[in-house]
Structure 1
Amino acid sequence: MSGKTALIIGATGQTGQYLLKELLASSHFTKVGEYGRRLTDLATLSTGKDKLVQKAIDFEKLEESGIKDGKWDVVFITLGTTRKAAGSAAAFERIDKDYVINSAKEARVPDHLQRVVYLSSGGANAKSSFLYPRCKGQTEEALASMGYSDTIVFHPGLLTGTARPQSRLPEVIAEGVINTLRLSSFFSNLEIKASTQNTILVTNHHSLGYVRWPLWAGVWR
């Protein structure tokens, strides 16, 4: 994975802010793009600022964002909200599903090997009668059919069997994302098998399956 470029959408969120720092500290990535409505204050970053490219974008006008121009090798999406924060069910779906799907579409470059990594939620189900899991599930299915070389979807759970404080959950998830990618070659032909442990949902050329969540993460599905 050496010398790769990474794009992160949703870097100012709870998990996104930790993931951005992990990407900037990683020697695997030589260029990191942060695109979003709000951007990280550079004063809060201690390392890797020289390889960071920031751009404020309007999610309603993604065609003007220039995301595609970066030809990113890995697209990380940690964008999300709650119904309460969004103000309505329609607004929630627009942000939590449409913005994610549209961002991934805009970042996709035909004939370029790319991996998309999406932070979803446990219980995601496209056929659920409940808004939150339905939106997450529909988003996962849309990403899986978008033509990326690999689609990795994280289903984070709660901390268990660990002394880590609950407030560190976003940080632990971010570390898990990075360490999982380190475990495999960048565009390897992933062999996916079912796991009863905490899992990361993976698609490779539209084939769905599960791989084991790193045991050190101390999470459950």
Structure 2
Amino acid sequence: MHVELTALVLGATGATGRHILNEVLLSERFTRVGEYGRSLTPETKLPQTKGKLEQKKIDFENLDQAAWKQGNWDVVFIALGTTRAAAGSAEAFERIDREYVLNAARAAKSDDPTRKQRLIYVSSSGANAKAHFLYMKSKGLTEQGLVSMGYDDVIIFRPGALLNAERKESRIFEKIAMPLFALATQVTDRIGISVDTVGKSIRIAGELGSQGIPANLKVTETFDSHSYTVIGNAEALKLATL
């Protein structure tokens, strides 16, 4: 018999987040789901939820931590992110891409020491806190910040190019490069992945947890004495088939 779970999804209106939310809502394992964000998914784009979805508009600049902790979430999915172009400046990008994520994860973490919580973050292939490229550096620093928070189980997804992604903002580079990435996926499983496959893989990871994920589909890394699970592009593709 499977244990029932509650889930909080952050960034559910984004390219990846919308698929995570849909997967979690359709899963029988998740009996209560929260969607918190600056904007929320319209009811017309939601599957039949049978009343298990709670939507709440929030201000990332002024989080009500007490209200967040009342949710008692078993699994926290974070798919928040942006680009420097969309943010308008490097400072704004780092605030949205990193500070918003870390503050939200901190707010969602329970104060109950007996409660076990799982955190799943959608990062990026190439994420590295020491990278010179701002985007990869921000993702790497965000990973480190999340790992250091003391969640019982932290799973980091590092997908490659997201194929078939519907984005709010136009990304010129992606429009040019995406056909090449799509062709490359015919010969390698490390470059690209369809966004719906990422969503499915992330939902499965949320249900299984690090211990339940097959050993060949994960890598265990350590930061600041905290161990966490990393799932790359090739591994996410295989995890989605379980």
Q: Give TM-score scaled by structure 2 length.
A: 0.77
One-letter amino acid matched to 2:118: R
In structure 2, distance between residues paired with 1:191 and 1:55: 31
In structure 2, distance between residues paired with 1:14 and 1:202: 27
| Paired residues for 1:13-92 under 5 Å | 13-63=14-64, 66-92=67-93
The residue aligned with 1:113 is 116
Alpha-carbon distance change, 114 to 217 in structure 1, aligned in 2, over 3 angstroms = closer
The residue aligned with 2:226 is 206
- Deviation at 1:216? 6.3
In structure 1, distance between residues paired with 2:101 and 2:195: 19
One-letter amino acid matched to 2:236: W
Contact preservation (8 Å) 1:155, 1:201:
no
Contact preservation (8 Å) 2:155, 2:228:
no
- Deviation at 1:141? 0.4
Q: 1:157 aligns with which of 157, 160, 165?
A: 160
- Deviation at 1:209? 5.3
SS of residue in 2 equivalent to 1:60? coil
In structure 2, distance between residues paired with 1:55 and 1:65: 14
The residue aligned with 2:7 is 6
Alpha-carbon distance change, 17 to 168 in structure 1, aligned in 2, over 3 angstroms = farther
Report the identity percentage.
46
In structure 2, distance between residues paired with 1:99 and 1:68: 16
Segments of structure 2 that go 5 or more residues without pairing to the other structure are 162-181
The residue aligned with 2:169 is none
Alpha-carbon distance change, 209 to 2 in structure 1, aligned in 2, over 3 angstroms = closer
RMSD after superposition: 3.0
Q: 1:174 aligns with which of 186, 196, 199?
A: 199
The residue aligned with 2:172 is none
The residue aligned with 1:133 is 136
- Deviation at 1:200? 6.5
One-letter amino acid matched to 1:152: I
One-letter amino acid matched to 2:195: P
Alpha-carbon distance change, 50 to 209 in structure 1, aligned in 2, over 3 angstroms = closer
In structure 1, distance between residues paired with 2:98 and 2:229: 22
Contact preservation (8 Å) 1:153, 1:202:
no
- Deviation at 1:130? 1.6
Contact preservation (8 Å) 1:152, 1:202:
no
SS of residue in 1 equivalent to 2:14? coil
- Deviation at 1:213? 3.3
SS of residue in 2 equivalent to 1:152? strand
List, as ranges, runs of 4+ consecutive aligned residues in structure 1 with deviation greater than 3 Å: 190-193, 199-205, 208-214
In structure 1, distance between residues paired with 2:102 and 2:196: 24
Deviations 1:146-168 (A, max 9, x none): 01001100000146139xxxx98
Contact preservation (8 Å) 2:205, 2:213:
no
How many residue pairs were aligned? Answer: 209
Q: Give TM-score scaled by structure 1 length.
A: 0.83
- Deviation at 1:65? 7.3
- Deviation at 1:210? 4.3
Contact preservation (8 Å) 2:154, 2:229:
no
The residue aligned with 1:146 is 149
